């Protein structure tokens, strides 16, 4: 059981490393909202799992001017 458990840990870590690598290729400064999903498809044996890592890469932007000041566009009064 030790080898199976270690294999699951390694596969999950590999999925996260691939997500991090893709963010680095895009020159992101970080990843937010990261989630790791795992499941077994019906056609696979019960001991075969898939790990899927999803996140949003955060990239710096260079702005020539500051963003506009937020304005009230709808009254909250009745």
Domain chopping of the chain, boundaries: 2-58
Helix (H/G/I), strand (E/B), else coil: 17: helix
CA distance linking residue 37 with residue 5, whole number of Å: 16
Decide: helix, strand or coil at residue 26: coil
Interval 14-71: pLDDT, tens: 988 999 999 999 889 999 999 988 888 777 776 778 888 899 999 888 777 887 898 8
* Model confidence pTM above 0.85: no
């Amino acid at each position: 059981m030790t080898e199976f458990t270690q294999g699951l840990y390694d596969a999950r870590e590999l999925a996260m490393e691939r997500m991090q690598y893709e963010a680095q290729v895009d020159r992101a400064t970080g990843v937010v909202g990261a989630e790791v999903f795992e499941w077994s498809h019906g056609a696979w044996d019960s001991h075969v799992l898939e790990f899927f890592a999803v996140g949003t890469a955060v990239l710096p932007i260079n702005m020539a001017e500051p963003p506009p000041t937020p304005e009230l566009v709808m009254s909250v009064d009745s």
